[in-house]
């Protein structure tokens, strides 16, 4: 039998994952209800097939790949179809959510009779021939996702609690997106203070690795900032309110909120950052 995998939703990451699986002759289903024509076109080009919730619920695996703020809502939306399904899928939450949020999703899925796998994706959307997108999975049923190693994905299993994969994703993204927020904030502060050129020169000389990282990361952040708001809030929750450093991640979320508004507006701060990185 042909393996069937539901991938929700066909955004950049979801479509990339769907295309990789389709290249390996997997039947890839997705939901296009209420989606734009551009999204539907992206899904079709990736080899994904539109399906209703009842069909999605009966796929061999169901991969939830949505913005962090939508992870729990998607599980709740699909719960009636998952409960009614005669064939029980394995529900894999691949979103950048904190362990407490992952546990809330797991509780919704447990009530449907389906198995649950916690997963985290590190790397960009898969491209043909690329190998730099990794799925980390945890929990007693994580081996079910590891089956996709035979279908073009790189799935790595983690020891530890059910939510170990979410903890890894939160930690990794807290470093990469946290550093990006800090670096971009200081670029702006230096520009406002008249020391941008001196800061650039000093960084290039004394911390060339970090300088290169920020030069690469900052321009690509602008269009993604709106999606990183909820993710940084999840990371702040992961760190925990009992630890004062959680406020750093919450502040980064507010920073990305402001940059997202600037990106959609007059791009004043975008222009300042572009000037700093030499774009």
pLDDT of residue 124: 94
Measured CA angle at 208 (ends 207, 210), to 5 deg: 70
Encoded tokens for 130: 């690329």
pLDDT digits (tens, 9 = 90+) for 175-212: 999 999 999 999 999 999 999 999 999 999 999 999 99
Which of 11-20, 62-71, 124-133, 222-231 comes out lowest in average pLDDT? Answer: 124-133
Average pLDDT rounded to a whole number, residues 261-279:
97
DSSP H or E segment with residue 93: strand 90-93
Average pLDDT rounded to a whole number, residues 220-226:
97
Side by side, the strands of the sheet bearing 115-122 are: 49-50, 27-30, 4-8, 61-64, 90-93, 115-122, 134-138, 154-157
C-alpha atoms less than 13 angstroms from C-alpha of 49 in its C-beta half-sphere:
15
pLDDT digits (tens, 9 = 90+) for 131-178: 999 999 999 999 999 999 999 999 999 999 999 999 999 999 999 999
Distances (CA, A) of 209 to 38, 54, 133, 220, 251: 38, 49, 22, 18, 25
pLDDT of residue 222: 98
Phi, psi (rounded to 5 degrees) for 265: -110, -125
Name the H helices within 8-84. Answer: 12-23, 37-45, 53-56, 71-84
pLDDT of residue 186: 98
What's the whole-number average pLDDT of the chain?
97
Phi, psi (rounded to 5 degrees) for 149: -60, -25
Q: What is the rounded CA–CA span in Å between residue 2 and residue 41? A: 24
First to last CA, the chain: 50
**Inter-residue long-range contacts of 48-56, CB under 8 Å, 24+ positions, other chains counted:** 48/7, 48/10, 48/15, 48/18, 48/19, 48/22, 51/6, 53/77, 53/78, 53/80, 53/81, 54/81, 54/84, 54/85, 55/6, 55/29, 56/6, 56/8, 56/29, 56/30, 56/31, 56/81, 56/89
pLDDT of residue 279: 82
pLDDT digits (tens, 9 = 90+) for 3-62: 999 999 999 999 999 999 999 999 999 999 889 999 999 999 999 999 999 999 999 999
pLDDT of residue 128: 86
User: Is pLDDT above 80 for 1?
Assistant: no
pLDDT of residue 37: 93
The model's pTM is 0.94
User: Is pLDDT above 90 for 130?
Assistant: no
Neighbours of 28 (CB within 10 A): 28
DSSP H or E segment with residue 29: strand 27-30
What SS3 state is found at 5? strand
pLDDT of residue 276: 97
61: Cβ contacts below 8 Å, ≥ 6 apart: 3, 4, 5, 6, 89, 90, 92, 144, 145, 147, 148
């Amino acid at each position: 039998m042909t393996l069937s995998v539901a991938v929700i939703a066909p955004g950049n990451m979801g479509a990339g994952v769907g295309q990789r699986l389709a290249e390996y002759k997997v039947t890839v289903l997705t939901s296009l209800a209420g989606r734009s024509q551009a999204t539907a076109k992206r899904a079709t080009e990736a080899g994904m097939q539109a399906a209703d919730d009842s069909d999605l619920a009966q796929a061999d695996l169901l991969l939830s790949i949505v913005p962090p703020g939508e992870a729990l809502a998607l599980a709740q939306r699909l719960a009636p179809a998952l409960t009614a399904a005669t064939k029980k899928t394995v529900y894999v939450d691949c979103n950048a959510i904190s362990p407490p949020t992952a546990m809330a999703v797991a509780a919704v899925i447990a009530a449907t009779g389906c198995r649950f796998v916690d997963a985290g994706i590190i790397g960009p959307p898969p491209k043909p021939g690329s190998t730099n997108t990794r799925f980390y999975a945890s929990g007693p049923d994580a081996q079910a996702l590891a089956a996709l190693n035979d279908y073009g994905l790189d799935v790595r299993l983690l020891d530890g609690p059910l939510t170990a994969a979410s903890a890894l994703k939160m930690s990794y993204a807290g470093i990469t997106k946290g550093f990006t927020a800090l670096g971009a904030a200081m670029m702006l502060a230096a520009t406002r203070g008249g020391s941008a050129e001196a800061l650039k020169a000093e960084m290039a000389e004394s911390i060339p690795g970090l300088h290169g990282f920020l030069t690469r990361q900052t321009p690509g952040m602008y269009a993604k900032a709106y999606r990183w708001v909820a993710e940084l809030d999840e990371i702040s929750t992961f760190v925990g309110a009992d630890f004062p450093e959680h406020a750093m991640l919450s502040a980064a979320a507010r920073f990305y909120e402001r940059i997202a508004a600037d990106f959609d507006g007059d791009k004043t701060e975008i222009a300042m950052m572009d000037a700093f990185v030499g774009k």
